């Protein structure tokens, strides 16, 4: 592939940075990657040390990992409000950065960034004045950490939030003279799901990825590591979006997905049954596409008919939550099992925030057993299923290992960035 035209998960990297030489010298041994994640309502920074390529020789360790959630900030809006997310990322990035660096023992009170460089970083961050001020104070107080590259989420996500992380990464790369690695958020989810302890899980290709989040419902096939073929995707609402919208219809607090799952779990534990029946959209179609808008509409009608002029009883709320979660799980399992059968996938990655859903995780595991498939199931622990910077640092390492860096002037945020 031409050095000046490298395609990286929906990105075309042009040009060759003079700073790339810093990372080139470490490609033969361990690299330290600092990852930045600001795609939605989590401000996160992680630092890893990794070495090796895809396969049994890959190893990594987490040196620092810090995250600040904005959930409480957005609860009153019933969802993530982009401008609030942008503001909070500006406020949180430097404290989170300091936390991660202190954990990694990579920062000392020894200034080595010039005033000229600080002034240049401030100009770069003119649209993020609060971040610019905090970073300037940080540069004047601390040394350049011993890292080899900076990886940052460039999409998909909320574009105002993405730009804060992207511009922060540019400022750090400028001040510290480090190369930049653009990361696709969804690739990060795949990488983290494929990790097992401090290595990669042992699995054979092809790899099937079920990506389920607030913005995505996709089945993606990888015949080779870091190469992707889209098998199917949602035609309307993503599964996480459907969970949140249904929760609002039922009068449940934000974030709605975990609340629906909690109520459904109580109904199952109590052995509660109901006469409520919801559709399983597209469950029998021959393709691998999904649709959840009709299911959401069906819930709205069911809620309106059930509560009448009053409100739902506790039993009715639990029953509808259980039926909705069952309907979603039925569709996801059916489509995924069909994809495994047709592709002979040897491993199944489940990534994205909805992969934290205990019922969906259990249903997929049971289905693999019941269908008799030897496909290996790869799901991150629930605490790492939602957005975090560890997945960005991991994906950044594999891109850096392939020397896929980008000039700061070419790096852009892409709210609708595709994996394919």
Rounded Cα distance between 102 and 97, Å, is 9
Which pLDDT does position 12 carry in this prediction?
A: 28
Q: How many other C-beta atoms lie within 10 A of the C-beta of residue 205? A: 15
The answer, yes or no, to whether residue 31 has pLDDT greater than 70, is: yes
Which pLDDT does position 85 carry in this prediction?
A: 87
| Helices (runs of H) and strands (runs of E) counted in the chain | 13, 14
The answer, yes or no, to whether residue 268 has pLDDT greater than 70, is: yes
Q: How many other C-beta atoms lie within 10 A of the C-beta of residue 5? A: 10
Rounded Cα distance between 223 and 71, Å, is 37
pLDDT, mean of residues 262-271? 95
Which pLDDT does position 331 carry in this prediction?
A: 97
Q: Helix crossing, 82-104 with 159-176: angle to 10°?
A: 30
pLDDT tens digits for range 56-72: 789 999 999 999 987 77
The answer, yes or no, to whether residue 5 has pLDDT greater than 70, is: no
- Say if pTM beats, i.e. exceeds, 0.85: yes
Which pLDDT does position 25 carry in this prediction?
A: 36
Rounded Cα distance between 45 and 67, Å, is 7
Same CATH topology for 10-189+387-410 and 205-345: the answer is yes
pLDDT, mean of residues 243-256? 90
Return all residues near 321 (Cβ < 8 A) that are at least 6 apart.
Answer: 250, 260, 261, 263, 264, 267
Helix (H) or strand (E) holding 211: strand 207-212
Closest CA to 165 of 204, 173, 54: 173
pLDDT tens digits for range 309-365: 778 899 999 999 999 999 999 999 999 999 999 999 999 999 999 999 999 999 999
Q: Where do we find the tokens 């987490």?
A: 62
Rounded Cα distance between 23 and 62, Å, is 19
Q: Are 217 and 292 in contact (CB under 8 A)?
A: yes
The answer, yes or no, to whether residue 104 has pLDDT greater than 60, is: yes
The number of angstroms, rounded, from the C-alpha of 1 to the middle of its chain's C-alpha atoms is 28
Which pLDDT does position 188 carry in this prediction?
A: 97
Tokens at 158, concatenated: 């909320």
Q: Per mean pLDDT, which range of 272-276, 303-307, 375-379 is the poorest?
A: 272-276
Which pLDDT does position 310 carry in this prediction?
A: 79
Averaged confidence pLDDT in the chain: 90
pLDDT tens digits for range 163-191: 999 999 999 999 999 999 999 999 999 99
The terminus-to-terminus CA distance of the chain in angstroms comes to 17
pLDDT tens digits for range 19-30: 333 333 334 469
In degrees rounded to 5, what are phi and psi of residue 89?
Answer: -65, -40
What sign has the CA pseudo-torsion 41, 70, 36, 351?
Answer: negative
Rounded Cα distance between 362 and 184, Å, is 28
Listed by start position, the domains of the chain span 10-189+387-410, 205-345
Residue predicted with more confidence, 79 or 11: 79
The answer, yes or no, to whether residue 122 has pLDDT greater than 90, is: yes
pLDDT tens digits for range 361-404: 999 999 999 999 999 999 999 889 989 999 999 999 999 999 99
Cα–Cα distances in Å, from 292 out to 243, 254, 347?
Answer: 9, 19, 26
pLDDT tens digits for range 41-100: 899 999 999 999 988 789 999 999 999 987 777 777 677 778 888 999 999 999 999 999
Tokens at 388, concatenated: 């975090």
pLDDT, mean of residues 232-259? 92
Q: Are 350 and 377 in contact (CB under 8 A)?
A: yes
Which pLDDT does position 29 carry in this prediction?
A: 67
The answer, yes or no, to whether residue 17 has pLDDT greater than 60, is: no
Rounded Cα distance between 53 and 352, Å, is 24
pLDDT, mean of residues 120-129? 95
Helix (H) or strand (E) holding 260: helix 256-269
Rounded Cα distance between 411 and 6, Å, is 13
- Percentage of the chain beyond pLDDT 90 is 78
The answer, yes or no, to whether residue 125 has pLDDT greater than 80, is: yes
Cα–Cα distances in Å, from 357 out to 45, 258, 328, 364, 379?
Answer: 24, 8, 11, 11, 11
Return all residues near 94 (Cβ < 8 A) that are at least 6 apart.
Answer: 131, 134, 135, 137, 138
Helix (H, G, I), strand (E, B) or coil at 353: helix
- Percentage of the chain beyond pLDDT 70 is 92
Which pLDDT does position 120 carry in this prediction?
A: 96
**DSSP string of 124-178, one letter each residue:** HTTT-HHHHHHHHHHHHHSPPPS-SEEEEEEESS-HHHHHHHHHHHHHHHHHHT-
The answer, yes or no, to whether residue 136 has pLDDT greater than 50, is: yes
Which pLDDT does position 275 carry in this prediction?
A: 79
The number of angstroms, rounded, from the C-alpha of 250 to the middle of its chain's C-alpha atoms is 27
Is the CATH code 3.30.420.40 the one for domain 10-189+387-410?
A: yes
The CATH number assigned to the domain with range 205-345 reads 3.30.420.40
The answer, yes or no, to whether residue 9 has pLDDT greater than 60, is: no
pLDDT band at 217 (very low <50, low <70, confident <90, very high): very high
Closest CA to 45 of 336, 391, 410, 314: 391
In degrees rounded to 5, what are phi and psi of residue 345?
Answer: -60, 135
């Amino acid at each position: 592939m031409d050095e000046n035209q490298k395609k990286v998960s929906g990105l075309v990297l042009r040009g060759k940075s003079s700073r790339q030489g810093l990372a080139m010298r470490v490609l033969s041994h361990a690299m330290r990657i600092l990852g930045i994640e600001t795609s939605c309502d989590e401000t996160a920074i992680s630092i890893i040390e990794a070495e090796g390529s895809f396969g049994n020789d890959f190893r990594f360790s987490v040196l620092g990992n810090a995250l600040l959630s904005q959930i409480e900030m957005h609860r009153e809006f019933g969802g993530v409000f982009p401008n609030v997310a942008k503001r909070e990322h500006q406020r949180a990035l430097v404290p989170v950065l300091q936390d991660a660096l202190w954990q990694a023992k990579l920062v000392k009170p020894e200034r080595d960034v010039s005033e000229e460089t600080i002034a240049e970083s401030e100009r770069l961050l003119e649209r993020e004045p609060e971040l610019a001020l905090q970073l300037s104070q940080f540069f004047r107080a601390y040394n350049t950490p011993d890292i080899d590259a900076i990886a940052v989420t460039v999409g998909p996500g909320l574009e105002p939030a993405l730009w804060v992380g992207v511009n922060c990464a540019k400022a750090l790369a400028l001040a510290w003279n480090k190369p930049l690695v653009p990361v696709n958020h969804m690739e990060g989810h795949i990488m983290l799901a494929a990790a097992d302890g401090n290595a990669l899980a042992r699995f054979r290709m092809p790899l099937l990825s079920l990506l389920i989040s607030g913005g995505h419902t996709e089945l993606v096939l990888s015949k080779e590591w870091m190469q992707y073929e889209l098998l199917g995707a949602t035609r309307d609402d993503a599964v996480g979006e459907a969970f949140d919208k249904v929760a609002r219809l039922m009068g449940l607090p934000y974030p709605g997905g975990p609340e629906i799952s909690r109520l459904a779990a109580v109904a199952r534990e109590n052995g509660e049954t109901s006469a409520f029946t919801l559709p399983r959209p597209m469950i029998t179609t021959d393709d691998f596409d999904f649709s959840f808008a009709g299911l959401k509409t069906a819930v709205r009608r069911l809620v309106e008919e059930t509560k009448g002029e009053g409100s739902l009883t506790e039993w009715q709320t639990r029953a509808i939550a259980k039926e909705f979660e069952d309907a979603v799980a039925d569709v996801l399992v059916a489509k995924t099992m069909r994809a495994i059968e047709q592709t002979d996938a040897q491993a199944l990655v489940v990534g994205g925030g909805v992969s934290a859903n205990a019922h969906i995780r259990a249903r997929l595991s049971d289905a693999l057993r019941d269908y008799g498939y030897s496909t290996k199931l790869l799901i991150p622990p629930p605490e790492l299923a939602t957005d975090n910077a560890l997945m960005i640092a991991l994906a950044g390492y594999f891109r850096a290992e392939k020397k896929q860096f980008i000039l700061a002037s070419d790096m852009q945020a892409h709210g609708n960035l595709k994996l394919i």
